[in-house]
Amino acid sequence: MAEPNKVATLTLDGKTHELPVHKGSIGPDVVDITKLYGETGAFTYDPGFTSTAACQSSITYIDGDEGILLYRGYPIEHLAEQGDFIETCYLLYYGELPTAQQRKAFEKNITYHTMVHEQMAQFFRGFRRDAHPMAVMVATVGAMAAFYHDSIDINDARQREIASHRMIAKMPTIAAMAYKYSIGQPFVYPRNDLGYAANFLRMCFAVPCEDYVVNPVFARAMDRIFTLHADHEQNASTSTVRLAGSSGANPFACIAAGIACLWGPAHGGANEAALNMLKEIGKKENIPAFIDKVKDKSSNVRLMGFGHRVYKNYDPRAIIMQKTAYEVFDALGVDDDPLLEVARELERIALSDEYFISRKLYPNVDFYSGIILRALGFPTSMFTVLFAVARTIGWISQWKEMIAEPNQKIGRPRQLYVGSERRDYVSLSRRG
């Protein structure tokens, strides 16, 4: 970390303490409180970590007020529109965009590791058919440590890289297997001549009796969805991966922990909720009544796919999602999809309504992604699984960055204790 450029002063119990302030390359400064407890005996209190930087990172930067998202300095819209997911994976993991030669080698490496150990198929068969695919993902990704135990020594840089490549390569295969299992169809093996997104679509939608010819517009849409979800700084699942990894847990276990966290409706489940909301509204004429319900605080109804903890402006990913939705419907030959119509009109009305303007509520990435995924043929139960496939590269890159940090320590938050003070044990017969 660079030398502090200024200090903050804290006065506690009449004593003054100087706290170093560090400057990032862009974004807010951070007040360094690492010595605070030792010097003052006090902790800081910040539930939900709304004002706490838990690490330093050079991977992803978000400016929520301006609606900016950068991966290693590159704007998300450049990567999604001019690059692709494989390049984005390389960039997030290694820090730079690949040269043509590096890209070719990396893509081959990923493509040639998409098959999973054949015994994993037996492992899948232990689940009930109606199991949620996210439950299956948490278990099977965690189980990878049992199948690939030659790459779980986190102190060996080469093993870390092999485990990372394995997860990027095999995650789509495992996700497609979870889907196929849930609908009672046989697993479809990956094909090395297809790109990352096209291969995934084929593993989901081909059947032994009929191949699935991948529409390039659909493959591009899938690739963009992966790119837009690849990383998002220190969100709940990424912080979970870092915390799990801080104890020295193996990378497969850490990513399984991240998937478990992502499963929550406040994190990965919002696109499903946004799609359900559009279905519930049904047609444009019902929008004003729905908006009234959203504004009525006693209704507890929110406009799903709107608002964000960090973005107080347009989520830059939402703009690309909207464009992609039109491309997909064009390719399908559908020019009047009712849900797309409702979404567009809802967005128009909300963006001109004082309630949303004053609260800085704009469409987020989930507003259009559900519509696209449904058009591609995915059931809602798979939406969060697709998010997990995309976010794997972000989790792994953040985990790798953390392990390489020389001062890396086990994560151990403190607490404000509000329970009973010390009291003596009372035997059962004497309890009131």
* Residues forming the active site: 308, 366
Task: Compute the 3-state secondary structure of the chain and give helix, strand, coil in percent, each to the nearest 5.
Answer: 55, 5, 40
Helix (H) / strand (E) element for 199: namely helix 196-205
SS3 at position 81:
helix
- Interacting span for ligand CMC (CB under 6 A) from 198-206, 208-216, 321-329, 357-365: 357-365
Q: In whole angstroms, give the CA distance from residue 186 to residue 207.
A: 7
Candidate residues 142, 305, 370, 394; the one interacting with ligand CMC per rule CB under 6 A: 305
Q: Between 113 and 232, whose beta carbon lies closer to ligand CMC? A: 232
Q: Between 245 and 305, whose beta carbon lies closer to ligand CMC? A: 305
How many residues form the binding site for ligand CMC (CB under 6 A)?
18
Backbone angles phi, psi at 21, to 5 degrees: -120, 125
**CA angle (134 as vertex; 273, 386 as ends), nearest 5:** 65
SS (H, E, C) 271-309: HHHHHHHHHHHCCHHHHHHHHHHHHCHHHCCCCCCECCC
Q: In whole angstroms, give the CA distance from residue 22 to residue 57.
A: 13
Tell me if 302 contacts ligand CMC by CB under 6 A. yes
Q: Between 129 and 297, whose beta carbon lies closer to ligand CMC? A: 297
Q: Between 173 and 364, whose beta carbon lies closer to ligand CMC? A: 364
Candidate residues 190, 251, 307, 394; the one interacting with ligand CMC per rule CB under 6 A: 307
Strand partners, 18: 9
Give burial (CB, 10 Å; 0-12/13-18/19+) of 20: middle
- Interacting span for ligand CMC (CB under 6 A) from 30-38, 141-149, 356-364, 405-413: 356-364
Interacting residues with ligand CMC between 88 and 117 (CB under 6 A): none
Tell me if 390 contacts ligand CMC by CB under 6 A. no
Q: Between 151 and 235, whose beta carbon lies closer to ligand CMC? A: 235
Tell me if 359 contacts ligand CMC by CB under 6 A. yes
CB of 237 to ligand CMC, least distance (A): 9
Candidate residues 365, 372, 388, 390; the one interacting with ligand CMC per rule CB under 6 A: 365
Tell me if 232 contacts ligand CMC by CB under 6 A. yes
Residue 194 to residues 86, 197, 201, 214: CA-CA distances in angstroms? 13, 8, 10, 9
Tell me if 393 contacts ligand CMC by CB under 6 A. no
Q: In whole angstroms, give the CA distance from residue 11 to residue 91.
A: 44
Q: Which two tokens stand for residue 174?
A: 């495992």
Q: Nearest to ligand CMC by Cβ — which residue?
A: 307
- Interacting span for ligand CMC (CB under 6 A) from 38-46, 167-175, 299-307, 406-414: 299-307
Strand partners, 74: 71
Q: Which two tokens stand for residue 51?
A: 């004002």
Tell me if 191 contacts ligand CMC by CB under 6 A. no
Q: Between 32 and 77, whose beta carbon lies closer to ligand CMC? A: 77
Tell me if 294 contacts ligand CMC by CB under 6 A. yes
Q: Between 212 and 314, whose beta carbon lies closer to ligand CMC? A: 314
User: Residue 43, CB half-sphere, CA atoms under 13 Å: how many?
Assistant: 10
CB of 374 to ligand CMC, least distance (A): 17
Tell me if 364 contacts ligand CMC by CB under 6 A. yes
Tell me if 225 contacts ligand CMC by CB under 6 A. no
**CA angle (98 as vertex; 192, 396 as ends), nearest 5:** 75
Tell me if 35 contacts ligand CMC by CB under 6 A. no
DSSP code of residue 60: E
User: Do the Cβ atoms of 237 and 267 come closer than 8 Å?
Assistant: yes
CB of 52 to ligand CMC, least distance (A): 16
Q: In whole angstroms, give the CA distance from residue 129 to residue 178.
A: 10
Tell me if 366 contacts ligand CMC by CB under 6 A. yes
Q: Between 283 and 359, whose beta carbon lies closer to ligand CMC? A: 359
How many Cβ atoms from other residues are within 10 Å of residue 188's Cβ?
21
Tell me if 316 contacts ligand CMC by CB under 6 A. no
Tell me if 303 contacts ligand CMC by CB under 6 A. yes
Residue ranges binding ligand CMC (CB under 6 A): 232, 235, 267, 270, 294, 302-309, 359, 361, 364-366
